[in-house]
Structure formats: C-alpha cells, structure tokens
Structure 1
Amino acid sequence: MPKELTMKDKLYRHGLAKTVTILMMIAVLVAAVAMIRIYIEGKHYSQFEVVDTFNKVGAETSSFRDYQGNLLVYSNDGVSAYNTKGKQLWNKTYEMQSPIVKVKGNYVACADYKGGRIYVMDENGPACEIETNMPVIDLNLSEKGVVAATLQEDKITWIKVYSSEGVEISEIKTTMEKSGYPIATAISADNVKLGVSCLKPQGSGVSTSVAFYNFGDVGQNETDHLVSGKDFEGSMIPFLEYAGNDNAIAISEDRFMIYKGKEKPALEEEIELKEEVKSVFYSENYVALVFNNTESEQAYRMDLYDMSGKQMFSYVFDMEYHNVLIRNDYVLVYNEEEVIILDKKGKEKYNGNMGGNIVSIVPTETKWKFLIVRSDEIEVIKLY
C-alpha cells in the first residue's frame, strides 16, 4: 500500500517543483537573450533613417571632432562644443593662424603653432590659459587635463608639463646633439607617466629614442625621472600615444610596438610590418593600421589589433577614406558619401552611400545612431 505523504513531504515536493520551474524559466530566458544577442551581432544593416535635423554650426572653414558623444567644432577663431540637439554647451574665442587641437576625455587643449598661449577646456568650458613664453611646436593631453607642450628656444627644445589648472609640473630639456629632437609625446591617463620619441642623426641615417618618465613616487629616485628607454637604429617613430593608463603604442615605418607598465613602461610586443603604414587610428582597447594594399585590386588594407598585439581582422577596401572611428564593438570608415561599419571580426555591419557632403560623423550614446555633419546641415540618423 502506498505510503501516505506527510505535510512535510508535500511542502518539499512543492518547493522542489517550484524551484525546477524557476530554473527552467531562467534557462529559457538566458537562451532567448543569447539568441537575440546572436541575431543583433550578426545583423547586417542596409538602410538608415533621418530622425532629426538641425542647422549646421560653425563656419565654412570649421573642423569637427567627436567629443564624448557630443560635437566639437573649432576653427582659427575659436572652439565650441554642442550636444546632439545642436545646443551649444560652451564656447571659447581666440585668434590663431594654424591651431593645434588635442582632445582626450572631457578635456580639449588648443594652441597656435609657434604661438605662446595654450587654452584648456573641460566639460564646463574654459578651464585655464597657459602662457608658455616660448613658441609652441606641438602639444599633447591626458584624459585628466594635464598638458605636455613641446616648446622651441633657439637650439633647445623643451617639453613642459602643466596641470589642468595651468601650473607647470615638470620640464625636460632636449638638444639635437645629446637627446635628439622630440617628434612625439604621450601622457598616461593617471598623469604620472610621460613618453617621448626623439629623432637624432646617426652617421648617414637616423635613429629614434623612445623614453618614458615617471613624475610620481617611483620616478623620484631616478635621474631626471627617466624610468625606461630604448634606441631604434635606422627608424623614425613619429607616432607615440597612451591608450588608457598602462598601455602606450609606438609606430614606425616598419614596426608596431606596445609598451605596458603601471610605473616603468616596458616594450611587451613588437610586430614587424611588411608595408609602410599610411594611417593610424586607435582607442583605449584597439589600434587600426591602414596600408596601401599590394595584394589585390582593392586600394587599402586595414589591420585591427588589440592591446595584446593580437590581430582581430584584416579588411581590404577601395573607399578613399576621410576618417576611421573605433568603438568597443565596431569600426567605422567614412568619406564624403560612403560609410563602412565593421564588427570586431571584420564582418560588415553596414556598407553604403549616406548621401553627399559628409564632413564628419560622430557616434552618439545610442548604438547605431550617429550625428552626420554635412556641409549645409547636421542630421541624426539611425541604421535599420
């Protein structure tokens, strides 16, 4: 005769059944989310719709940049920031002949080539002005607003570092005879590490020295704060940038290098390049190198690498590109009419004509929604 279930048994079975039901529902939900994600990641967009339009901002000669999902507009007369609705966020006027403009995070730094003043702006507008007392040859910027200015004084070239308040923090003296001429600088996101690429003559050729300085506690015990460095004979390294806090990238005509280190950057990856690099684009996590393509009919080849030196994809294309934008999950290539969007595997998400007179494209905070800056107006478009 079957044993009669007690109340405790019934409650146990009921609870177990309920638990199994919940687990099954969770499994179905996870599977549904996974399927949706696979669908979205594999989807190819073929069309777009204009969801908003507003009058173009800036002058005819203005240049446009992405500014944290907003629009940065600058010219010889000033610099301004606008949101995706065309509302001005801030403005700074100046007069320059050949403005040098750097953007990192919420900060913008502007200086006239061979001028003597640097303007620094943050998300609220003008933050400080720096009087250099020497001509500005180049400048760079950290994500926290620290400025590295390359300044010329007769046969001496200075690299002076200023805080986001405009206070001089440190300086490096260079001469062609001893250290070489600085052709690139890079500042880490924590404002502590400074990378410098110096070109110097060597016999009938040249060599480049890539050196890193630490202005924090670790560098206090080192001569001139120098914590690491290496000479590259026969090479010119005009590209040196920090991608985030602990990764720096350096690129010459024949090699791509990744430096890593929280305190003392060291060369971790060195990739030989068979062709000369035509263009370099980077984000915090990726580097895109564009080459003239010699192996097929398409004009260009773009290789995407992550910060470990792993090649994510190689993509060939014919478009005469104007710019390349890298985001966490896609790469966007565009010119005055055409746009190509690739995922991180090199698969096309979009490839088509978006109309003429494109001056700049700015990704918004909404995925697959972009600001299209045209010569006569600005559109907000969405892919579908």
Structure 2
Amino acid sequence: MKQPKVDINGKFVVAADVGGKVLYVYNGEDEGTEIDTTLPIVGAKVAANGVTAVLTQDSDSNVLNIYNPYNSADKLAVEIPTNVLDEGYPLDFDISPDGKSVVTSHMVLTGETPENKVSFYNFTEVGQDQNTLVGGKSFGTNTIASIEFVGKDEVCVFHSSGFTLFDQMKKPQIQAEVTYPDTIRSVAYSDQYIAVVTWNEGDTRNAQTLHLYNLKGKEIRSQNITYTFSDMELNGDELIFWSSKEAHILRTNGKEKFSCEFEDVIHGLFPTEQGSVYTLIDNNKINVISLKKK
C-alpha cells in the first residue's frame, strides 16, 4: 500500500490504500479478507461486526459502498452513488457499531459561499423505503471537522462552532446542540463523555477551558486548565493530555491524577487494563509507568 489508512473497532481492523483500489478487513482469527474497489479509495470505516463502509471517488462522483467481508456470495451489500456537483465534496463519515447506519458530511460550493451538510443513511427496512437516505441537516458555513458514533444509535458531528448530537438513526433527531463563542482547540470522546477544550480569548491567565458532557449533551463539568498539549484522549473516567515534553492525566471529577515533564521527546501516553499502569512511548524506548496512590 502506498498510503495505508487504518480504522479499528473492537476486534475488527480495516486497512485501506487511500488513492488505491484495495482494502483488507481483519478479525484477528485469519489472514484477512481482501476487497477490491472500482474507484480510488478516500477512506474506510469498520463496524463492530466487521461490516465496512468505503468511500470512493473520481473527478465528478462519489460512491459510498457497504461491504460484508464474510458474505461469500456477494461482499458488496449497498452502493450509494452521489454527484459532486449536486452533493458536494466528501469531508468525513462514520458507520454505526451494528453496521446498519452511515452518516456522511459534504461541502457544497454554491457560488462563493460553501455550505456544509450531513446526510444520514440507514440500511434496515426503514431506509430501504427511502433509498437508504433517512435524513440530513445543513450546518451552513460551519466547517465539519469530524463525525463520530459515540453510542449504538448516537452520532456526534463536531464542527467549527461546537458539536451536535443526533440519535435514532432510523429517523435522526437532534438530541443536543452546543456552541461556543471562543475558538475550539481540541475535542475527544468516549462511550461515556464528550470533552471540548476552548481558548479563552482575551484571558491570558485562564487561557483554556475544559468542558465535559455526557452523551445527552448535558455539561457536567467546566474548569480552566493550563496544560501544554498537542493531543487529548478520553479513556474511561480519565482525560489524557500530552505534548512533546509533557504528559497529564485528569480525572473526569476534575482531580489531577498525574502530571510530569520529560527530558526525551514523547509520542504518547496510553492506558493499560491495569488502572494505575500506563505505557509511555518516547524517541528511544517504550516505558511502563506505574502510579502509586497518594
């Protein structure tokens, strides 16, 4: 592969050759299943049951393909073509854990003003009655950064002004809309929480605010933070921040669990199944950090 891109969901992994026409789906039990496409691949996402969504495109059209890698008769289950001129350029997409819904985002150029919108597809009997398209929403000029399924039937659309939560994928409805007057610096999500860090413009003393929400969109915590970080992740009830020289762990109750500066350049701090043990990767080695209770 010249430009591999990987997506992981539970035991399933899809590795797609972006710009090429081949992808592989792995389940950890065999050598993987190869799938060939007719158009160049833009991206691929895998569901928790192995069903895989693949976005392909050429100069004037996009095609969203849904594959069941383990169907020996016909791996291609659904094919949804769209026209770039009418539907716009693809930005992002995600597939639901059960593989029965896909949400896509596109940017449409109408004159000099871009319009960003999302479309909802459902592959059950409900969606089949409507050619799989069961809903959509325009976000105007707000750039859509990413689309993420945060639950079995809940999807979050992160955009330049905040985020919007949708549920009921057979008939999508807005569950919550959150917007910010300040610039969004970073976002993270898990199957329990959504975290957003914003810049507090004009406040040099408290330059950043961390906002924490449940999956109903209700804010459960807001606090100023002073961390220098390039990456932020949510894992269980912990927020993990790191930059090239620093790492911090903040509990979702607002209490700091770990904070340290390092001499070597670090590339990530990752939790393990043991709650007090973490893996730290730097330029030279892989380290194991074991935290002691205070």
Q: What's 1:123 paired with?
A: 28
Kindly indicate whether residue 193 of structure 2 is the aligned counterpart of residue 286 of structure 1.
yes
The Cα of 1:326 is off from its aligned counterpart by: 0.9
Kindly indicate whether residue 102 of structure 2 is the aligned counterpart of residue 194 of structure 1.
yes
Cα pair distance change 1:320/1:123, threshold 3 Å: farther
The Cα of 1:307 is off from its aligned counterpart by: 0.7
> Secondary structure of 1:178's match?
helix
> Secondary structure of 1:238's match?
strand
Larger radius of gyration: 1
Q: How many aligned positions are there? A: 288
**Equivalent-residue separation in structure 2 for 1:123 and 1:335 (angstroms):** 32
Q: What's 1:61 paired with?
A: none
Cα pair distance change 1:170/1:344, threshold 3 Å: same
Give the one of 223, 227, 231 matched to 2:138.
231
**Equivalent-residue separation in structure 1 for 2:13 and 2:223 (angstroms):** 32
The Cα of 1:347 is off from its aligned counterpart by: 2.0
> Secondary structure of 1:161's match?
strand
> Secondary structure of 2:260's match?
strand
Q: What's 1:67 paired with?
A: none
The answer (yes or no) to whether the contact 1:148–1:162 under 8 Å persists in 2 is yes
Q: What's 1:184 paired with?
A: 92
Return the letter of the residue paired with 1:357: V
Q: What's 2:266 paired with?
A: 358
Q: What's 1:342 paired with?
A: 250
Q: What's 1:204 paired with?
A: 112
Q: What's 1:29 paired with?
A: none
Q: Percent identity?
A: 28
Counting strand residues as a fraction of each chain, which structure ranks higher? 2
Return the letter of the residue paired with 2:257: K
The answer (yes or no) to whether the contact 2:13–2:25 under 8 Å persists in 1 is yes
The Cα of 1:131 is off from its aligned counterpart by: 0.8
The answer (yes or no) to whether the contact 2:7–2:15 under 8 Å persists in 1 is yes
**Equivalent-residue separation in structure 1 for 2:153 and 2:138 (angstroms):** 21
Give the one of 165, 173, 178 matched to 2:70.
165
**Equivalent-residue separation in structure 1 for 2:169 and 2:18 (angstroms):** 32
The Cα of 1:355 is off from its aligned counterpart by: 5.1
Spell out, residue by residue over 1:162-203, the C-alpha distance to the aligned partner (whole angstroms, 9 max, x if none). Answer: 124371111221222222222111111111111111210233
Cα pair distance change 1:355/1:217, threshold 3 Å: farther
**Equivalent-residue separation in structure 1 for 2:242 and 2:189 (angstroms):** 16
State how 1:98-109 maps to structure 2 within 5 Å: 98-109=3-14
Cα pair distance change 1:284/1:125, threshold 3 Å: farther
TM-score, with length taken from structure 1: 0.70
The answer (yes or no) to whether the contact 2:35–2:69 under 8 Å persists in 1 is no
Counting helix residues as a fraction of each chain, which structure ranks higher? 1
Cα pair distance change 1:278/1:174, threshold 3 Å: farther
Return the letter of the residue paired with 1:274: P
Kindly indicate whether residue 152 of structure 2 is the aligned counterpart of residue 245 of structure 1.
yes
**Equivalent-residue separation in structure 2 for 1:189 and 1:299 (angstroms):** 37
Kindly indicate whether residue 183 of structure 2 is the aligned counterpart of residue 312 of structure 1.
no
| Greater RCO (CA < 8 Å, at least 6 residues apart) | 1
Kindly indicate whether residue 172 of structure 2 is the aligned counterpart of residue 265 of structure 1.
yes
Return the letter of the residue paired with 1:287: I
**Equivalent-residue separation in structure 2 for 1:356 and 1:303 (angstroms):** 30
Spell out, residue by residue over 1:305-331, the C-alpha distance to the aligned partner (whole angstroms, 9 max, x if none). Answer: 211111232343444323222122111
The runs of 5 or more residues in structure 2 that have no matched partner are none
The runs of 5 or more residues in structure 1 that have no matched partner are 1-94
The answer (yes or no) to whether the contact 1:144–1:189 under 8 Å persists in 2 is yes
